[in-house]
């Protein structure tokens, strides 16, 4: 059975009992996020709640002066839309030689409006940062919808994501890697498209939250 795991799902799955949201509304919101980032107009993200928590690197920041206020030429993006947790995750890759970025932005919704925008912004000097490498590998991955009958449950996917996250601080944790399997972390890719690609090649200690989460880990498992 094929499934794909993205570290950003960690945030989605953490919310339990949230109201259902429509996929169309979530897609419209991520489209507005991309347009706002391209133009550098943070207040055009929509629909915004009256009170919006805005964070960068898990710390409260000023939306008017944060990364969203910087117009960026986006070379690649991919969004996940979680209609159960009413949340989205958008990966943005900017390869501009003057200032490349890889950005991961999660938005959470309350009563149909965006109540929380949280971004991790990586650039030169961050662990494994390589925007060109991230663009190269991410843009070559296929993220076609998985047939419903072949999908794992949210609980199975969350358990796998939690195991991967725990592995960074506890090397005894067993992660359900598949075969073949490839990981994209920063601009580094563990696979080559071979049937022998493996993901159990080790992880460094304590690096997960520095940058890996916003260059989503993708694993394809049989």
Residues 115 and 10 grouped into a single domain: yes
Residues 100 and 8 grouped into a single domain: yes
Residue 74 belongs to a domain: yes
Confidence check: pLDDT of 26 > 60: yes
> What integer is the mean pLDDT of 145-157?
92
> What integer is the mean pLDDT of 21-35?
97
Residues 158 and 213 grouped into a single domain: yes
Residues 17 and 68 grouped into a single domain: yes
Per-residue pLDDT tens for 171-217? 999 999 989 998 888 888 888 888 899 999 888 776 554 434 433 33
Q: Which of 64, 88, 123 is the last residue of a domain?
A: 123
Per-residue pLDDT tens for 100-114? 999 999 999 999 999
Residue 134 belongs to a domain: no
Name the residue range of residue 63's domain: 3-123
Q: Which of 62, 90, 123 is the last residue of a domain?
A: 123
Contact partners, residue 106, CB within 8 Å, separation at least 6? 8, 11, 12, 87, 88, 89, 90, 116, 117, 118, 119
In the chain, the number of structural domains is 2
Residue 89 belongs to a domain: yes
Cα R_g (the chain), whole angstroms = 17
Per-residue pLDDT tens for 38-79? 999 999 999 999 999 999 999 999 999 999 999 999 999 999
CATH number at residue 49: 3.10.450.50
Residues 169 and 99 grouped into a single domain: no
Please state, rounded to an integer, the average pLDDT across all residues of the chain. 85
Residues 152 and 198 grouped into a single domain: yes
Q: Note the helical H segments in 109-202.
A: 131-138, 154-167
């Amino acid at each position: 059975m094929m499934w794909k795991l993205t570290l950003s799902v960690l945030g989605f799955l953490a919310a339990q009992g949230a109201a259902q949201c429509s996929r169309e509304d979530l897609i419209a919101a991520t489209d507005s996020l991309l347009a706002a980032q391209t133009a550098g107009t943070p207040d055009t993200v929509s629909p915004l709640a009256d009170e919006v928590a805005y964070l960068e690197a898990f710390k409260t920041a000023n939306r008017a002066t944060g990364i969203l206020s910087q117009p960026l030429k986006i070379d690649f993006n991919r969004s996940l839309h979680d209609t159960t947790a009413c949340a989205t995750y958008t990966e943005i890759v900017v390869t501009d030689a003057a200032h490349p970025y890889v950005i991961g932005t999660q938005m959470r919704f309350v009563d149909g409006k965006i109540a929380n925008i949280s971004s991790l912004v990586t650039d030169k000097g961050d662990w494994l940062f390589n925007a060109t490498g991230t663009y190269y590998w991410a843009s070559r991955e296929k993220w076609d919808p998985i047939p419903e009958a072949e999908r794992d449950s949210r609980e199975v996917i969350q358990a796998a994501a939690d195991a991967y996250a725990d592995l960074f601080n506890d090397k005894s944790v067993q992660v359900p890697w598949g075969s073949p399997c490839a990981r994209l972390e920063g601009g580094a890719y563990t696979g080559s498209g071979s049937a022998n690609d493996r993901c159990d090649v080790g992880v460094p200690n304590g690096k997960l939250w520095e940058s890996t989460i916003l260059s989503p880990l993708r694993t394809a498992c049989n």
